[in-house]
Structure 1
């Protein structure tokens, strides 16, 4: 007789802030959601979500989609023509984790600029603009705030405003991959509009720190969002009665931002504990809810932690990522620290 293997009780899932489960309030909203066909623009919860987030961020319109990768790629398609370049920071999500879609779907290629701690220099961006007939012309500047691969780091408002000035001077659109833009706003201590007003389009993920089960919204002018509808449909993003998902996302939008400061505090506490235990962590990069740690045999170590109920993302042989979210409370964090520092 073969005995089934049992998994240890879960202490904390620190792989990502996408792993959260819907709260009771979200499940209630989903169960009672009034729905319609969103492809026809008839789903009341989707329409309300799009309008609420557009109002919060200062845009004319929004478009609900299944993922942040889709909202980013639709934005690139809206702003560019085939054969152009997209200026982006080194390590940007639109390149590193979106599977070459800017080339496959929009026919454009990235031009990278250095980004220490995820913050590119406006002057480097200006110098990266191409207009020669012998080179691919620049079609778009794209930033990421917070910058995932840099460690959840935040671009200062002064830099964002300088980037806006560069884009205006060069006659280029400026897009923000704002998957965690509410984390950035909390870190900067400003209303999210202070960030989003610098951009022509913004992608906001609702299923990361805000805690919704599914979905992102692309925000922009009414004209840009009309174009985005077509590209969303091309990518298979028409979800029909999506109000079930939008209802949960509306709860996340109301309740999620207020919890982010606690996530950030717990992240700093975990980072300090890891450093004290000998982990190689750049504390200057620990600004919001993400920690990257360098350590040997990362995959083996992560597997051993999983056997004790703590999940983390091993990124290759010598790097691990930890991400805090609202479903890791102080007690769970205390237990996780004991496992990780034993």
Structure 2
């Protein structure tokens, strides 16, 4: 599912302006991972690399950036401790001092390769956009703090405190128990340092007699100074105000050379150190401190295309806090700064002449915002930009019944599904329920007959009793012994063979994947299928058939790391929902043999599934498939992060969290379903009282964070009752 091309910021030679262009997506080596970058912080090192300020000559056609976070999209054969969808950050240093974004391609691209040993796991409790600056800026200042040897309650001066590095340095110093003297310039930076960052003192380093002012406000000078400024003068000032025996740690990279009064340095026993980024373990420490202390990373999320504007602000001294690029989506160019988390709400629809059309209505924007915190189901997603474009720009408006050969857009979509699943034919239907019931009715010819299935199966429990009404079939409901999914041991003793006229024989075994978000693994599906297809039947009878309710099959195969074709080789038919993980506005698709689909079309007409002008629906489904499938690993990773957090604070689950669902065991946890709905509502979230929380591609990081806060409040209050 990986694309062959991607967007990246590239500069060809030393000192040239960056260029946003498309380049190939690389393939990871044996000990490497390919990371789908979601966010990448921007720091002065990136600017210096672009301008050619460093002594070494950078690689030509270099992709810049070195503090990116995202999801593992692929990995090499020697990588065993990471899986697809894991959230990781890329360290600034590669082995043998291959600097990311300067000597090797960096994180200003949609897919970035790094050594697996340098991939830092992003823990629960921090958003990706907030984690990005920590991977360079955070670990840089945390390492510098350790190098300064400053003790708790001692004073450390942060020079350049109002910038991206400085804002983090102030907060890390406070979190580690130090007193902070912030040196920056201007009233805005003063307010930010004292009130937002919690600094104890502030001095304007552009004022007169800076050294005397520092000594006055600190009672003799700071015990240490960390200089993150890109200006040369503060380095000289620090040697004049540092307390005897103090340490000056140089982090910033201004042009020029540092000179000092050697006599004063020796007699005052001043230590001068250079400090660079820490290692992987120190990065994990820095992330843990940030989460534990709960301080905020000062950043602005900007569109991927705005990198040159950020560089301009850096050179002009206009940056406040850190800039974080939103890399995960295609660049739109010309976008202004976004809020702390991003949502794809403004659509740029194309008219027939290629000119931009109208943006979407406010009502759809509001629906997207609501979907970001709607955990009731993965059917609650609303059309994305590609889906809306596909609907508006649909080129076929045929009648799927009257037109000979059907609608071309529908045929194209069905062909795509046929290729994806490896089946002979596919048929677009209106819903998952309709798809399941058409399949079962198509397989069943003359009663008496029985369908064997999991007693919790959707086709039995949630489809309004359609099986006995439409197919005249009885049901054998089986409870899995492992409490999660059916195995061959569950199935083989419950199959009713023909020959005893007291019982209707089993004609269909219907399995479901996923069920409550839990996977029915390929191994068990294959074992059941091999056994069922070899059950003895009378001469002239067809073998027992295998049907799959694959409403969330694409979620399952993505999480298991297999293909849909591999899985569907175990089944004669399947129904796959398009309005769940795929995010289509409506519809499902059923697959099977050509003969099976020809007969299914007859039942589709009988069940009211014949449609007019279906091309728009098929175009929307195809666009949703292309847009949403690459996002499933991210959805799964976010679900696991929230599940890990909930488990730590006392929640128990009914099922494993394999894909996009968390099913809370309300009884064991000791919370009420009605209370769950109520607490979620307080935080602007939607949930059902059953305890099932469904994640989807439009759930935002903010929505997940609000869910964690709501359920923390819930379990604390319920335990007090």
Query: What's the TM-score once normalised by structure 2's chain length?
Result: 0.44
Offset of residue 270 of structure 1: 1.4
Q: Which residue of 2 aligns with 1:338?
A: 709
Offset of residue 272 of structure 1: 1.8
Offset of residue 89 of structure 1: 1.2
Q: Which residue of 1 aligns with 2:400?
A: 38
Supply the distance in 2 between the matched residues of 1:118 and 1:24 (Cα, whole angstroms): 37
Residue aligned with 2:706, SS = helix
Supply the distance in 2 between the matched residues of 1:297 and 1:89 (Cα, whole angstroms): 27
Q: Which residue of 2 aligns with 1:20?
A: 381
Structure 1 segment 251-266 matched on structure 2, within 5 A: 251-266=623-638
Q: Which residue of 1 aligns with 2:687?
A: 312
Q: Which residue of 2 aligns with 1:214?
A: 586
Greater Cα radius of gyration, structure 1 or 2: 2
Supply the distance in 2 between the matched residues of 1:216 and 1:31 (Cα, whole angstroms): 21
Offset of residue 117 of structure 1: 4.3
Supply the distance in 2 between the matched residues of 1:228 and 1:263 (Cα, whole angstroms): 33
Q: Which residue of 2 aligns with 1:126?
A: 492
Alignment pair present for 1:94 and 2:442: no
Offset of residue 331 of structure 1: 2.8
Say if 2:436 and 2:575, in contact at 8 Å, map to a contact too: yes
Q: Deviations over 1:254-311 (max 9, x none)?
A: 22221111111111111122222322224x6111101111333212330342242111
Alignment pair present for 1:141 and 2:513: no
Specify which of 433, 437, 442 is matched with residue 73 of structure 1: 437
Q: Which residue of 2 aligns with 1:6?
A: none
Q: Deviations over 1:301-322 (max 9, x none)?
A: 303422421111112xxxx110
Residue aligned with 1:38, SS = coil
Residue aligned with 2:401, SS = helix
Offset of residue 242 of structure 1: 1.5
Specify which of 447, 450, 454 is matched with residue 82 of structure 1: 447
Q: Which residue of 2 aligns with 1:290?
A: 661
Supply the distance in 1 between the matched residues of 2:378 and 2:503 (Cα, whole angstroms): 40
Say if 1:274 and 1:281, in contact at 8 Å, map to a contact too: no
Supply the distance in 2 between the matched residues of 1:230 and 1:136 (Cα, whole angstroms): 26
Q: Which residue of 2 aligns with 1:225?
A: 597
Say if 2:679 and 2:710, in contact at 8 Å, map to a contact too: no
Supply the distance in 2 between the matched residues of 1:86 and 1:266 (Cα, whole angstroms): 36
- TM superposition outliers: structure 1 runs of 4+ over 3 Å: none
Alignment pair present for 1:161 and 2:533: no
Say if 1:117 and 1:285, in contact at 8 Å, map to a contact too: no
Supply the distance in 1 between the matched residues of 2:503 and 2:449 (Cα, whole angstroms): 9
Query: What's the TM-score once normalised by structure 1's chain length?
Result: 0.91
Say if 1:179 and 1:205, in contact at 8 Å, map to a contact too: yes
Say if 1:45 and 1:246, in contact at 8 Å, map to a contact too: yes
Say if 1:68 and 1:215, in contact at 8 Å, map to a contact too: yes
Q: Which residue of 2 aligns with 1:267?
A: 639
Residue aligned with 1:225, SS = helix
Q: Which residue of 2 aligns with 1:57?
A: 421
Supply the distance in 2 between the matched residues of 1:162 and 1:194 (Cα, whole angstroms): 13
Supply the distance in 1 between the matched residues of 2:401 and 2:455 (Cα, whole angstroms): 36
Higher mean displacement: 67-76 or 124-133? 124-133
Say if 2:685 and 2:703, in contact at 8 Å, map to a contact too: no
Aligned residues: 326
Residue aligned with 2:398, SS = coil
Q: Deviations over 1:148-188 (max 9, x none)?
A: xxx31111222111112112112211000001111111111
Supply the distance in 1 between the matched residues of 2:590 and 2:451 (Cα, whole angstroms): 18
Supply the distance in 2 between the matched residues of 1:280 and 1:126 (Cα, whole angstroms): 32
Supply the distance in 2 between the matched residues of 1:336 and 1:245 (Cα, whole angstroms): 33
Supply the distance in 2 between the matched residues of 1:173 and 1:338 (Cα, whole angstroms): 47
Structure 2: runs of 5+ lacking an equivalent? 1-368, 536-542, 714-721
Supply the distance in 1 between the matched residues of 2:442 and 2:531 (Cα, whole angstroms): 20
What is the alpha-carbon root mean square deviation over aligned residues?
1.5
Say if 1:75 and 1:218, in contact at 8 Å, map to a contact too: yes
Residue aligned with 2:664, SS = strand
Say if 1:156 and 1:188, in contact at 8 Å, map to a contact too: yes
Higher mean displacement: 202-211 or 332-341? 332-341
Supply the distance in 2 between the matched residues of 1:301 and 1:56 (Cα, whole angstroms): 39
Higher helix share: 1
Structure 1: runs of 5+ lacking an equivalent? 1-8
